[in-house]
Structure 1
Amino acid sequence: MLKDLLSSEKHKLLFLIPAPKHTPDEIAGILKQHPEIQFVSLVGIDLGGNDTDEKVPIELAIKDMQEFLTFGVQTDGSSVVLPEIASLNDARVDIIPDTSVNWFVDYNYDNIDEQTGLPVGTLRIPSFLVHNNIRVDSRAILQRSVENFQTQIIDAIKESPYVLESIGIDSVDDIEKAIITSATELEFWVRTPEDKPDIEKLSTSQVLQEQYWKRTIGPVRTALEQSLVMLDAYGLESEMGHKEVGGVKAKLSGNGHYDHVMEQLEIDWKYSTALQAADNELIARDVVKDVFTCHGLDVTFMAKPIEGVAGSGEHTHMGVAVKLKNGKIKNLFSPVNMKEEFMSPIGWGALMGLLKNYEVVNPFVTSSNDALNRLKPGFEAPVCIVSSVGHSAELPSRNRTVLAGLVRDIDKPLATRFELRAPNPTSNTYLVLASAYQAMLDGIKAALKSGKTSKELEADFSKKPGQSSFYLETERAYRSEDDVFEHYTADERNTLFGKPPATVWENLLGLDLYPNKKAILSAGGVFTEEIINSYKIATRSQWTTELYKRIIPDNMEFVRICKKLHGGENVTDLDVVTWEKINQLRNYLMKDSLSQKSLFTRIREGIDAEDFDTVSTLQQEMSSKMSELKSLYIVYKRNLFEIL
């Protein structure tokens, strides 16, 4: 069915209604021409990154389209993540359509309309969540951030006109508007349902790089190709689809079908404006999920679905340009001479702002246990607050071990941008972009106010720890062109670039420990104190609930699985000693006595008492002990000829 719809011209399914066609008459006319579209869904994004699906029969929307676009629909605030904003006694939330971005049609390929023979479609309209006449959703926060950036960057250039020469613009009056551009890369795992991962095989394949960029085969190839075609139909302009580092080779069964699929993939599409880029990511996820499901494959967008194997990132690209009144586009990060300088003063300021203020950006980038599981040394994971710009301006290079890297092509000035490597597929892209652009704006304003040239700012950014700076923190270093995991010890990394948070709680503390940096988020009314507090509560609740009801029960199940397997024959003293270590760990982790409580119990009691500092410390201990237990049990089983 899906193949036919993609290849046959006679069906002409509608996938996209672009922003210029969002007048009531045009929308009504388009929908009447496509009877297969039977529902309208208003898509708001709460602070937890969840998208609403308020389905309205198409007839009700068409009946008074102007009223529908103006007033949207109402919902109960208890159904969205807005703690202490939409409370039980003040729960009304209005979902208002956004007419400034593209709208997409989501098709249900399992529900075929009898009259048209086509899958039933739902028009998904990106929307705002409004509480007491205030937009409180993630999309609104990003929109405010973009508007604030566009206004403030022009004002900053006006106040520091010296910078115009470095970006090749004669006068600030030549600028029509600022353009904020973004893009994300979506990594994900696909597998045959019910198949359990073989960690050792996956790890070995990863070390040997047997899968990275290899040719896809079977249903994975077909689904990947169809996903790229579908993205084009939705106007995303797919650019690349390929295998990532993780995975093992699928097996061809006797009936000619592939099974035991376990592969990691990546799909990229063209950049767009910041708000549209985040909306595009939502439809891309749905497309990938639906297409691979049609081929009997399960998709997960978890950051670290398989322990001990590469996780899935979602590198986020951010750029800033201006449109001139003569129609030309100028990248504000690119210098006039790309072979002699890495960036303009605006680019250096943006990178400084992002890194200096990352402690208050990070809570929006990495907000779950799953996300933190990915950010560990050894998997090219960006752990440290440090950047790379390249070994020389004339020969651009890429350092995959840093938090944020400069991406540039000396022959294509418009391509200059930053790649933030820490986000993952579960990150709330709207809040990631909003907080990052607020941080970058702060650095740009400081850099331009200083009056420093590109070379002077490069020297400042490349400073050694202990050297003072007009903006950056004295005790920190911010640039490394070396592999930060190979070149520095863990203690050296912590000293140079700051100690990275190990738990969700430690990450959230950045919003309390750095009040001056947190104020940057609120500049221009982008993040309010109410929204930041609501986000902290929501994230903390997710963290503790998952610990209490998922992570600890899963760990308990593994502890129970670790049983004594040796008998009296062919047993060595190593088997006995190893088992004793395993059993001691099992008891410490899980077994309560009259005189001592287990680690699992102490974590649960800490959560009940809201002693989050203790919970955070104990969680780290639990993670270490569970890793030790798993390693010991593998060694124990390997040494046994016979297993009871």
Structure 2
Amino acid sequence: MYNLLHVIPKDKHDAVSLKGLLEDNPQIKFVSLMAVDLGNNSTDEKIPISVMLSDIDGFLKNGAQTDGSSVYLPKIAEINNAKVDLIPDLNVKWIVDYNMAHKDPESQRPVGTLVIPAYLYHDGIPVCSRSVLKRSTDFFKETLKNALNTNAYARDVLGIRTDEMIDEVYMTMATELEFWVKTPNQKSDYEKLSASQTLKEQYWKRTVGPVRTALEQALISLDRLGFEAEMGHKEVGGVPAQLGGEGQFSHIMEQLEIDWKYDEALQSADHELFAREVIQEVFFRHGLKVTFRAKPIEGVAGNGEHHHLGIAVRLNSGRRLNLFAPKDMKASYMNAFGWGALMGVLKNYEVVNPFVTSSNDAFNRLKPGFEAPVCTVASVGHTPEMPARNRTVLIGLVRDTENPLATRFELRAPNPLSNTYLLGAAAYQAMLDGILYVLKSESTAANLEKEMSKAYGEEAGYLEKNRAYRSEEDVFEHYDAEERNKLFGVPPRTVWENLCAFGRANGKLAVLKRGEVFPAAIIDSYQATILSQWVSELSNRVIPSNEDLIRRYVKLHDIEEITDLDVVNWEKIRSLRNELMKNSLAESALFSRIKQAMEVADYETASALQVEMMSKMTQLKALYQEYRHNLFTEA
């Protein structure tokens, strides 16, 4: 329909090339510098393209300034020193975002905005999420390149010949984006959703109506932006839409997934950010609402976003090698570096997890029973000859015996609103820690596999004694909760419990700080950011939402239809309602006690009370459902 410019590759980011492209595409009216703060908020501003064209070299070097009110960098960009610079990133591709509802009067093409990924600088220092991932990949590449070019053991692990040297290290990442789509202001019955999920009636089924059209258009739009979309399909959640008399679909409630090709880590993280915007825009044009929340509907499958992490090297001979793949794919799972990287993530996951799971919504998803990982444990497969996928573990090995370059790890805990930049950086830092152990010990792959597979209480060279790290079982069926906690560690239950990992004196924080990837200022600012979000959300969203729900849980039975079970159930419901919400002169209810603890910054107490609140709310919902189902009619 339109001959539009969608992508400007990094080899066209010089002043001459840009001027020519922008002059040939006058429908591009604005430029936006897209930076990402530590709270995973991305910037979007409309700068007239004429401002950029008036001094392209100056714009590319100096970008734009803000007073810090548009980004959240606590303890860094404070109110008395709030100047923040947005500096364009010239080394990733730029995209053009078109407003299909706004036409350029002269060309009759949609008005476009050139979106340029950028870094946030404060006092001359990069302080944003993108800069952390950039430092992580740079440090990893430099460290690995030096080792592979000078260390005889390292070269032997990969089979590098004496006449070969490392030209480049590639840090690759890919994400699987899940999301729910629904008709605005219409609700689907929870029990129908739950039953459909249990029966897997929607999983990979055919899409119809506006969902099909929007899904197809989203895939096409992503391809235009160079994503190389690989698949779009229905996920496990959802119920069939209702078709009205005029051929209009209503009560749409479906879960979808869209995947695209892997890329370099920083570019891949940018892709994910772009993709969410593109998908929301396309589905919105079809009157559909999209949510990327981790657990938008309690009791039904949440939205995950598995992160695939891989590393490859290119030699000056032209050969390309996977860092983790063994020399014989059918004889071994991985080489020594693969085992080291996997052990690094598991041993240090305590300080990686705060970047993966950083909200109340994220914790709502990570519960047994919904294929969401709870335990810090890995799976590599039952035999090297036959790759397998264990969907109950935190991280798994993905491999293809016919394609060594496909060997990678799948981290299953992230969700679509996890900060991919920070969690990617933390995961790579953890991997590097394990690889450094391997370089120091010069251990064999067989011995590292033995250490990775050690039993609880068994001494090890790198991994902790009182932990187990590998299971090829369904960890939710094979072990009970007590066994899981003993073997794999007690998982945090709240945002506060997760953040407390940074304060433990166990040396793991040094893994993040290695190479100045996560300097103390970034850690402190991130903690302050997530803590503030947790307090605000718990006080102003979670508790008020629970209060509204409790107000809807009213008595339904009358004296003529009452049974003793109705009376007992209602008394239990009434008691729980009072415990949770009803204050008296003598005692504060649970909701009020949480707020009081927050007000005096007693976060330990607030966290413990939140756990109690979640448990009681779960009981209340189950009781009210049982009570309601025993009645002939609802008053």
Counterpart position of 2:5: 14
Counterpart position of 2:185: 194
Match of 1:235 among 207, 226, 230: 226
Matched-pair contact (CA < 8 Å) for 2:10–2:93: yes
Aligned-partner residue type, residue 417 of structure 1: R
Matched-pair contact (CA < 8 Å) for 1:360–1:514: no
1:585 aligns with 2:570: no
Query: Distance between the aligned counterparts of 2:536 and 2:276, measured in 1?
Result: 25
Query: Distance between the aligned counterparts of 1:327 and 1:227, measured in 2?
Result: 36
Count, aligned residues: 635
Aligned-partner residue type, residue 596 of structure 2: E
Query: Distance between the aligned counterparts of 1:401 and 1:331, measured in 2?
Result: 26
1:164-243 correspondence runs (5 A): 164-171=155-162, 173-243=164-234
1:266 aligns with 2:222: no
Counterpart position of 2:320: 329
Matched-pair contact (CA < 8 Å) for 2:149–2:155: no
Aligned-partner residue type, residue 42 of structure 1: L
| SS of match in other structure, 2:236 | strand
Query: Distance between the aligned counterparts of 1:562 and 1:378, measured in 2?
Result: 26
Counterpart position of 1:543: 534
| SS of match in other structure, 2:223 | helix
Matched-pair contact (CA < 8 Å) for 1:386–1:402: yes
Matched-pair contact (CA < 8 Å) for 2:148–2:166: no
Counterpart position of 2:387: 396
Counterpart position of 2:474: 483
Query: Distance between the aligned counterparts of 1:263 and 1:118, measured in 2?
Result: 33
Query: Distance between the aligned counterparts of 1:191 and 1:103, measured in 2?
Result: 31
Query: Distance between the aligned counterparts of 2:496 and 2:284, measured in 1?
Result: 35
Q: Which moved more, 1:83-92 or 1:631-640?
A: 631-640
Query: Distance between the aligned counterparts of 2:505 and 2:307, measured in 1?
Result: 24
Match of 2:295 among 304, 308, 332: 304
Query: Distance between the aligned counterparts of 1:508 and 1:197, measured in 2?
Result: 36
Aligned-partner residue type, residue 626 of structure 1: M
Query: Distance between the aligned counterparts of 1:643 and 1:59, measured in 2?
Result: 63
1:407 aligns with 2:418: no
Counterpart position of 1:562: 553
| SS of match in other structure, 1:516 | coil
| SS of match in other structure, 1:121 | strand
1:574 aligns with 2:536: no
| SS of match in other structure, 2:276 | helix
Query: Distance between the aligned counterparts of 1:600 and 1:119, measured in 2?
Result: 50
Query: Distance between the aligned counterparts of 2:9 and 2:566, measured in 1?
Result: 67
Aligned-partner residue type, residue 492 of structure 1: E
Aligned-partner residue type, residue 463 of structure 1: K
Aligned-partner residue type, residue 457 of structure 1: L
Counterpart position of 2:144: 153
Give TM-score, length-normalised by structure 2: 0.99
Matched-pair contact (CA < 8 Å) for 1:160–1:449: no
C-alpha distance after superposition, 1:265-319 (max 9, x if no partner): 0000000000000011111111111111111111000000000000000000100
Counterpart position of 1:387: 378
1:71 aligns with 2:71: no
Counterpart position of 2:456: 465
Query: Distance between the aligned counterparts of 1:592 and 1:159, measured in 2?
Result: 69
Matched-pair contact (CA < 8 Å) for 1:78–1:87: no
- Per the TM alignment, residue 514 of structure 1 is displaced from its structure 2 partner at its CA by 4.5
| SS of match in other structure, 2:549 | helix
Q: Percent identity?
A: 58
Query: Distance between the aligned counterparts of 1:158 and 1:18, measured in 2?
Result: 31
Aligned-partner residue type, residue 59 of structure 1: S
| SS of match in other structure, 1:244 | strand
Matched-pair contact (CA < 8 Å) for 2:335–2:445: yes
| SS of match in other structure, 1:342 | coil
Gaps of 5+ in 1: 1-7
- Per the TM alignment, residue 164 of structure 1 is displaced from its structure 2 partner at its CA by 2.3
Query: Distance between the aligned counterparts of 1:420 and 1:512, measured in 2?
Result: 24
Gaps of 5+ in 2: none
Query: Distance between the aligned counterparts of 2:7 and 2:460, measured in 1?
Result: 49
- Per the TM alignment, residue 515 of structure 1 is displaced from its structure 2 partner at its CA by 4.5
Query: Distance between the aligned counterparts of 2:587 and 2:611, measured in 1?
Result: 20
| SS of match in other structure, 1:480 | coil
Aligned-partner residue type, residue 387 of structure 1: A
Query: Distance between the aligned counterparts of 1:564 and 1:104, measured in 2?
Result: 56
Matched-pair contact (CA < 8 Å) for 1:157–1:172: no
| SS of match in other structure, 1:185 | strand
- Per the TM alignment, residue 471 of structure 1 is displaced from its structure 2 partner at its CA by 0.4
- Per the TM alignment, residue 78 of structure 1 is displaced from its structure 2 partner at its CA by 2.5
Cα 1:50–1:266 change in 2 (3 A) is same
Match of 1:30 among 21, 25, 49: 21
Q: Which moved more, 1:169-178 or 1:39-48?
A: 169-178
Match of 1:244 among 229, 235, 242: 235
Q: CA RMSD in A?
A: 1.0
| SS of match in other structure, 2:87 | strand
Match of 2:447 among 439, 453, 456: 456
Query: Distance between the aligned counterparts of 2:553 and 2:184, measured in 1?
Result: 25
Query: Distance between the aligned counterparts of 2:476 and 2:152, measured in 1?
Result: 41
Q: Which moved more, 1:77-86 or 1:533-542?
A: 77-86
- Per the TM alignment, residue 171 of structure 1 is displaced from its structure 2 partner at its CA by 3.5
C-alpha distance after superposition, 1:227-248 (max 9, x if no partner): 1111110001000111100000
Matched-pair contact (CA < 8 Å) for 1:108–1:121: yes
Counterpart position of 1:4: none
Matched-pair contact (CA < 8 Å) for 1:345–1:448: no
- Per the TM alignment, residue 25 of structure 1 is displaced from its structure 2 partner at its CA by 1.1
| SS of match in other structure, 1:214 | coil
Counterpart position of 1:106: 97
Matched-pair contact (CA < 8 Å) for 1:350–1:439: yes
Query: Distance between the aligned counterparts of 1:73 and 1:364, measured in 2?
Result: 28
Match of 1:44 among 35, 47, 61: 35
1:601 aligns with 2:592: yes
Query: Distance between the aligned counterparts of 2:312 and 2:163, measured in 1?
Result: 13
C-alpha distance after superposition, 1:575-611 (max 9, x if no partner): 1111111111111111111111100100000000100
| SS of match in other structure, 2:155 | helix
Counterpart position of 1:441: 432
Cα 1:186–1:514 change in 2 (3 A) is farther
C-alpha distance after superposition, 1:49-88 (max 9, x if no partner): 1100122100011110000000010001122110010000
Matched-pair contact (CA < 8 Å) for 1:163–1:345: no
Query: Distance between the aligned counterparts of 2:369 and 2:36, measured in 1?
Result: 34
Matched-pair contact (CA < 8 Å) for 2:371–2:392: yes
Counterpart position of 1:320: 311
- Per the TM alignment, residue 166 of structure 1 is displaced from its structure 2 partner at its CA by 3.1
Counterpart position of 2:118: 127
- Per the TM alignment, residue 172 of structure 1 is displaced from its structure 2 partner at its CA by 8.2
